[in-house]
Structure 1
Amino acid sequence: MASFWDWITRRQDASYVYDLDMFEETSNRAYLKRMALDICCNYVARTVSQTVFRHMKNGTKQKDDWDYWLNVKPNSSQNAALFWEDLTYKLIRNNEVLVVQSDDYQLLVADSFTRKQRALYPDTFEGVTINDYTYQRTFSYDDVWYLTYNNKKLDNYIGGLYEDWGKMLGRMIEVNLRNNQIRGKFKFNQTKGNQDTEKQQKFIDKVMKSYLTKSVAFVPETSGIEVEETNNTSKNSSQSFDELLKLLDSFVDQVANIIGIPPALIHGQVADVSDARTSFEKNCIGPLLNKIKSELNAKAVTEYDYKNYDDHFVLIGVNAPTILGNADKIDKAVSNGAITPNEVRNELYLEPIEGGDEMIITKNYQKLKGGEEENDDDNQD
């Protein structure tokens, strides 16, 4: 059995005094990366949660269960906005998301699951867990909504984040083993008659046992023996608050560009954001809504209804055209007979109106004759 002196002499290096600085740097980097990822994912999730879902059949909006589930209350614990925000966040953050329908027709976003890919049959999903409940049955690919994000750059970023967390955890364990270790030293007055090392070792063992097993321990003062506890402390150099904010902004910009969000929108810059908003809606929100729409149409609409009743889902998100935003374009397109009012309403996700399939041309066009304007009504006299 190694003696106390052997235990002490093994600690001859002093490198541990620098560990906390390295640990803090790794810790800050990992924490700020995670914060930047959450900021960007939540920004996209909140935007997608504003989407309105319409179930259309033969050109008519359906007021059915799907309309209620997708726009009002998908399950007993979430309203529609929270449901779509949760789904979108997990889709981006985890690169995939699974939605199952319970026996009482609730739509539930899975927290974890295991996908088993198969060659000739639909994939299956096992171990589907929602909050603290885990399904014991297996779900078929045809009976669930399963979406993937497929963003390789984001995968690499998250991989780097996990690597930072791993380094931080390893450093944390090492630092705690070194810096939280209780250390002490015994001083013996090696005078004549006080040189029995065996008795000294037994005394040390008793002191150590007392320290390790008792919440309150006393060491008697003994002539010729001095017990002293040493502290293992080091000064930490911390980054300034401004430096941390700049580092966070840098990580936010990096994640935003990966996902397709112009950084100006994330940072709340209000000057000249129209182009940034258009880019965000086109390059980020549009593809996400298209993924959701494709999965809805594939799983909630039968082939027969799609072919015979034009059964499909329409998603009206923040990127959808609006009447007020396109008033001038609508007026010019309709007034010169280029498109019908119902064609315009279809582009605006509005139901058709009676008589809306006829072309409309304005009557206030005039001809020039002899350098002067001539009204068409004058020619009828």
Structure 2
Amino acid sequence: MSTITDFWKFIQGKLRGGKSIEVTSKDITEFIDREEWNRLALYEFALHSGINIIANALSACEVRTFKNWEEVYNNQHYLWNYEPNMNMNASQFKQKLVWSLIYKNECLIIQTRKGDFLIADSYEHEQYALYQDTFRNVTVGMDNGNGISRPYTFQKSFKMEDVLYYRLSNRNITALMNQLMDDYERLLESAVQKFYKSGGERGTVTIDANASTATYGVKEDGTPRSFNDVYRDLLNNQFKEYFKSPNAVLPLFKGFDYQTKGGETSKKSTSEIKDVTDITDEIYERVANALQIPPALLKGDVADVTALTKNLITFAIDPIAKMIETENNRKLYREEVLNGNYQMIDTSRIVHMTAAELATASDKMISCGGWNIDDIRRKAGDAPLNTEWSKKHFLTKNYEELNDLENDKVDTPNGDDIKNNEGGKDVAT
């Protein structure tokens, strides 16, 4: 649950009979003073950071389309790489897809009559064992990121064969993480309280015996302010503001006296600080493990980033990309994939390689016929030449077919020629 949701529920608790009320600064202060403002902030931040890493990486991937085993640039290529619908570009679309997939554990995409792909924000999923699953009350447009939402709910139901449905796993990882984080949050809260306590203010309040019979003015409603009112306000509000402020003055009524007893308690030891950092690191590691992200990458460490990025692609990006790719092929192309009509998600685009880094690899790939000139330019981030010669594949003499090598004569060190005879033995001629 987010902080905004918590605050909204707090305000709703103040509503009476559905009447509108004005939210004052006092209400906001009261919510913050409940000490729940940052209850899930650390976990939510770590989780959102991890999802952002995966979403940004997948949005950088190119969806390549093929027909009869040859790459083509058709309508499907345009939809998945440029404009899946009229309100989103491909990068935004892929990021929302990943967010829904990881945060909700599933994602539903429907295609309109115009051919646009829309990500469903809510729906009812009816599952069957022997028949196709059905999706009802499919609603889109609930979250557009700018606070203005005019959703639309389809009146028709959708069969499984009519939609693209992605499911991350059999268990919702975020739901499991929420259960785990409840324990970590209590540990973190205890460590934070220990941290604050080690450097907190200490003191004693002396109250004169005659203070209980003194007069303290009137309250906002005009009624007299009693000793108990002053006492509760002093302990619950005045001292709290006084202790939180770096520079403050504490006004006291006659009969009240405060003496500080801080002393050495104001010094925070390394132990209290380490308790907080250890639990913080533990939360980050658990979130990283759940998302299959290297913990160092989630924390922002830059040491050995190349190896970390390879692990990220192998364990976090490729499985999701393969799942999306498989679902798209079985729904959009069906059995035509056996004839070479399909799409693939190219995750090699995630890692940026310069021309210098590609130099050695490209030379080998050209000599064995693996890449052509346009392939190398695409890997380096340059535009393909799209010429007849740049699309050709070359093969050096080092990569001749085995049959050709068996039939060719080979020079021996002593100048004799050898060739393979019918008996299978090489003889000099």
Post-superposition offset of 1:346:
8.4
Instruction: Give deviations 1:128-179, integer Å, cap 9, x for gaps.
Output: 222132222211111111111117555421334578999xxxxxxxxxxxxx
Contact in 1 for aligned 2:366/2:394 (Cα 8 Å): no
The 1:256–1:319 alpha-carbon spacing in structure 2 relative to 1, beyond 3 Å, is: farther
Q: Is residue 257 from structure 1 mapped to residue 260 from structure 2 by the alignment?
A: no
Secondary structure of 1:301's counterpart equals helix
Secondary structure of 1:61's counterpart equals strand
Q: Is residue 159 from structure 1 mapped to residue 166 from structure 2 by the alignment?
A: no
Which structure has more RCO (C-alpha within 8 Å, separation ≥ 6)?
1
* Residue 233 of structure 1, aligned match among 233, 236, 249: 236
Secondary structure of 2:40's counterpart equals helix
* Residue type of the alignment partner of 1:140: K
Aligned counterparts, 1:58-77, within 5 A: 58-77=68-87
Q: Is residue 340 from structure 1 mapped to residue 369 from structure 2 by the alignment?
A: yes
CA separation in 2, counterparts of 1:64 and 1:117?
A: 34
The 1:150–1:160 alpha-carbon spacing in structure 2 relative to 1, beyond 3 Å, is: same
CA separation in 1, counterparts of 2:65 and 2:303?
A: 38
Instruction: Give deviations 1:193-235, integer Å, cap 9, x for gaps.
Output: xxxxxxxxxxxxxxxxxx9xxxx633389xxxx7963437277
* Residue 218 of structure 1, aligned match among 216, 222, 231: 222
Post-superposition offset of 1:316:
1.4
* Residue type of the alignment partner of 2:107: V
The 1:346–1:314 alpha-carbon spacing in structure 2 relative to 1, beyond 3 Å, is: farther
* Residue type of the alignment partner of 1:311: N
The 1:294–1:164 alpha-carbon spacing in structure 2 relative to 1, beyond 3 Å, is: same
Residue of structure 2 equivalent to 1:317: 347
Q: Is residue 360 from structure 1 mapped to residue 380 from structure 2 by the alignment?
A: no
Post-superposition offset of 1:296:
0.9
Residue of structure 2 equivalent to 1:143: 162
The 1:112–1:23 alpha-carbon spacing in structure 2 relative to 1, beyond 3 Å, is: same
Contact in 1 for aligned 2:39/2:185 (Cα 8 Å): no
Residue of structure 2 equivalent to 1:306: 337
* Residue type of the alignment partner of 1:57: K
Instruction: Give deviations 1:262-304, integer Å, cap 9, x for gaps.
Output: 122223322222211111111111111101100110111132x
Secondary structure of 2:131's counterpart equals coil
The 1:241–1:21 alpha-carbon spacing in structure 2 relative to 1, beyond 3 Å, is: farther
* Residue type of the alignment partner of 2:67: K
Contact in 2 for aligned 1:125/1:139 (Cα 8 Å): yes
Aligned counterparts, 1:194-205, within 5 A: none
Contact in 2 for aligned 1:55/1:67 (Cα 8 Å): yes
Post-superposition offset of 1:330:
4.8
TM-score by length of structure 1 reads: 0.63
Secondary structure of 1:302's counterpart equals helix
Post-superposition offset of 1:28:
3.6
The 1:248–1:100 alpha-carbon spacing in structure 2 relative to 1, beyond 3 Å, is: farther
Post-superposition offset of 1:88:
0.6
Post-superposition offset of 1:27:
5.6
Greater shift, 236-245 or 128-137, is seen at: 236-245
Instruction: Give deviations 1:59-97, integer Å, cap 9, x for gaps.
Output: 333332212211111112211101001101111111111
CA separation in 2, counterparts of 1:157 and 1:137?
A: 35
Post-superposition offset of 1:320:
7.2
Contact in 1 for aligned 2:61/2:347 (Cα 8 Å): yes
* Residue type of the alignment partner of 2:223: V
Secondary structure of 2:45's counterpart equals helix
* Residue type of the alignment partner of 1:288: I
Contact in 1 for aligned 2:366/2:372 (Cα 8 Å): no
Contact in 2 for aligned 1:41/1:92 (Cα 8 Å): yes
Q: Is residue 285 from structure 1 mapped to residue 289 from structure 2 by the alignment?
A: no
CA separation in 1, counterparts of 2:184 and 2:304?
A: 36
Greater shift, 325-334 or 344-353, is seen at: 344-353
Contact in 1 for aligned 2:365/2:371 (Cα 8 Å): no
Contact in 2 for aligned 1:286/1:319 (Cα 8 Å): no
Q: Is residue 124 from structure 1 mapped to residue 134 from structure 2 by the alignment?
A: yes
Q: Where in structure 2 are there 5+ consecutive unaligned residues?
A: 1-30, 143-150, 187-212, 214-218, 245-267, 400-410, 415-429
Residue of structure 1 equivalent to 2:262: none
CA separation in 1, counterparts of 2:85 and 2:182?
A: 33
* Residue type of the alignment partner of 1:217: D
Residue of structure 1 equivalent to 2:300: 268
Greater shift, 325-334 or 263-272, is seen at: 325-334
CA separation in 2, counterparts of 1:136 and 1:163?
A: 43
Post-superposition offset of 1:51:
1.0
TM-score by length of structure 2 reads: 0.57
The 1:151–1:275 alpha-carbon spacing in structure 2 relative to 1, beyond 3 Å, is: farther
Instruction: Give deviations 1:289-347, integer Å, cap 9, x for gaps.
Output: 101100110111132x3334x10002112467979555434534654xxx434699889
CA separation in 1, counterparts of 2:275 and 2:297?
A: 22
Greater shift, 83-92 or 128-137, is seen at: 128-137
